[in-house]
A and B are shown apart, each in its own frame.
Chain A
Amino acid sequence: MTQFLLQTIWLIPCYTIVGAIASIVWSPALIRRTGTRPAGYVNLGMTFLAFIHSLAAFPLAWQHPAQQLSVSWFQVAGLEFTLPLEISALTIGASLVVTGLNLLAQVYAIGYLEMDWGWSRFFALLALFEAGMCSLAFCNSLLFGYMILEILTLGTYLMVGTWFNQSLVVTGARDAFLTKRVGDLFLLMGVLAIYPLAGTWNFDELAQWAETATINPEIATLVGLALLAGPMGKCAQFPLHLWLDEAMEGPVPSTILRNSVVVATGAWVLIKLEPLLALSPVVLTTIITIGSLTAVGGTLIAIAQIDIKRSLSYSVSAYMGLVFIAVGTGQTDAALLLVLSHALAQALLVMSTGSIVLNSITQDLTQLGGLWSRRPISGLCYLVGVAGLISLPPFGGFWALLKLADGLWATQPWLVALLLLVNGLTAFSLMREFGLIFAGSPKPMTQRSPENFWLVTLPMMVLMGLTLHLPLILQSLALLPSWATLNQDMALLLIWSSLIGGGIGAVVYVGQGIPKPIQLPWQRLQTFFAFDLYTPQLYRSSIVFCVDWASRLTDWFDRKIIDGAVNLVGLVSLFSGEALKYSNSGQGQFYMLTITLGLAAIALSMSWSLVLQLMF
C-alpha cells in the first residue's frame, strides 16, 4: 500500500487534468440548458482527490530517502528524453500546499463566481494551473521544468484574460504573457547551454556536476544569468514586475492561487538551480541585487497604492525578492520555508480582501473604511494573514525570516538591515491597508457591507486556521530551527521592526488623528511610487519603443525594398513590352529593312573570321 501510494504519485497532476478536460463539457457553447456549475463541482472533486492522495502519501515519504521514477519520453539521435520524477517529502509537501490551496481557492471561487457564467473556462484553467504546479513539484528535470513553466505562462495569459470584454484585461493578459515569455526564453537559452556543459538536465545530476565543475567563469556567469532570467520573470522581480500588477485584472480566486503559489514556481526552479548558480559569484551578486531592489521597491510601491489587489501584489514581488536573497546567499531551506509561510499568509490576505471587494464593489482603498464592526471575520483573517506574513512570533513568517536573517548575519550583515527594513515597511503597508479598509468611519461605498455567505467565508477561515497552525505543524515535523541555536538578538530585531512598522502604520491609518488622504511633502516621490516607478512608461520608451520601431522598419523594408525589387522585375518586363511593341511599326518597308539588316548581321557573323583574315 505504501509503495502503491508513492509509485502512483504521478496521478496527482493527472486528476486535475481529467477535471480540466471534463469541465469543458459544461461550457455554455456545449451545454445550453443547464448551466456551467457542474464544472466547478467536478474540479473540486478532482482537486480533493489529489489533495487526499498527497496527504496520504506525505507521511509515507516523511523521513524516507527520496525515490526516483523515470518515464522515457522519446529517444532521438543519441539524445534520450526521460522525465525523472522525484518522490520525496519535499515534493509531496509542495503538492500538498498546491492542492490544498487550490481546494480552498476553488470553494472560494464557487462562492465568488456566483454571478458568473464562465465557470467551465475558469475552473478548467485553475485545474491546469494545479496540474502544472504539481508536475513542476515532482518533475526533477530542468528541461521539463521549463516546459511546465511555459505551459503555466500560457495558462496565466488565459486566466488573466478570463473576462476578455474588458480592455484592461486584454492589455494585462498581453503584458503578463509577454513579460513572462521573455524570461522563459532566456531560461530556454540557459537550459540549452547547460546541456553541452553538464550533459544532463536532471537537477540532482546537475548539482553533482556543479560540485566538481571547472568551467570558464564567463560561461558560468552567462549561463547563470540566463537561468536567472526565467524565475525573474516568473517571480515578478524588477524589472520584469509590471505584469503582476496588471494581472490583478483577473478574477480574485485565481489571484489567490497566483499570488501564493504561481509566482513561487519561479522560486522553486531557482531553488533547485542554486548549486548551478553558485558556480559564479557574479550571478549570486545579481540575484541578491535584484532581490534587494525588488524587496525594497516593491514594499515602497505597495505603500503608495490605492488599489487593494495591487497593493498586495507588490508585497508578493517584495517577498519573492526576499526568496531571491535567500537563494543568492545559498540558504535554500530558508527560501523554501519562506515560500511556504508566504503562500499561506498571502493567500489568506487575498481571500480576505477579495471577500471585502465582493460586497463593497470598489477596490479603491480611499473609498473603503469602517468595516471592522460589521466584517469581523474578514478583518480577523486579514490580521492573521498580516501576522503570518511579517515577522511576528510565533507565526510562520517569523521563523522563515529569522532563519534567513540568521544565515545572513554571518556573511552579509547589510542584508539583515535590508531584511529588517523590508519587514518593517511590509508591516506598515499591510497595517495601512487594514486601517483604510476596516478602521475609521464607513464611506458611501461601505455603508451597507454584509459579511459574505459560507462558501466564501469557510475557505477563508480554514486557511486562517492553517496559518495559525503553521508553526505547530512545522514543529511537529521538526522543521523549526531550535530556539537555543538561534540568534535571539536577531529575533528581537525582527520583532521590533515588525512592531515599529506595524505600529506606525496603525497610528497613522487605524488611529483617526491624521487627516486622510495623506500627502507627502514631496509630492513627486509619492506619485513616483504610486505609478510603480513609471514602469509602463519605461517599458514603452525602451524595449517596446525599440521593438516597435524595428518592426515598423522591417515591415517598411519588406513592403518597399523586398516586395519592390520583385515588383520591379515585373514592372520592367511590362514596360519593356510596352516600349518594344513600337518596333512593329506597320511599315512593310521597315520589316524588309529589318530582314536585310538581320541577314547582313548573320552573314557578317558567320564570315567574321574571313573578314578578319582579309583585314590583316
Chain B
Amino acid sequence: MNRKNDQVNDVILQTAAVIIFFIIIVFSINLFFAGHYSPGGGFIGGLMTAAALVLLLLAFDSKTLANVLPFDYRKMTALGLAIALLTSLHSIFWGRPFLTHAYDKFDLPLLGEQTLHTAIAFDLGVYLVVIGVTMTIIQTIGESE
C-alpha cells in the first residue's frame, strides 16, 4: 500500500476519463435542456456536470483541474443565485407578481422558429448553484489533510 513516492502510471484510467468526460458533459447538457418536456432539468444536469468534474478529479488531481478549468465554484454559486433572483424579479417591472414567467417565439438564425421561455434562465441559475455547491463540498473535503 505504501506506493506514495513511486511514480504511478494511470494511462488507461486517464485516457478513458478524458473521453468519458465529454460524453457525461454532453449528457448533462441534454438533461438540462430536455427538462421542460421530459425528465431532467437544472438539478440533475448540474449533478451530472459535477460528476464529470469529479471523474477528472479522480483520474488527475485537483491542481490539474484548477489549471484546466479555472472556475471559482463559490463565485459560480453566487452567479447562479443572482441569475435566479433576476429572472424572478424581472416580472415585477412589467406589473406582474414575483416569479411570473414569460415566453415568446423567436426566429433564431440556425435553429428556425423556437419558443424561448424565461424558465430556462431560472433553470440555468439552479444548474450553476448545484455545480458550485457540489464542487465546493467535494474540493473542501478532498483538500483537507
- Chain A bound to chain B: no
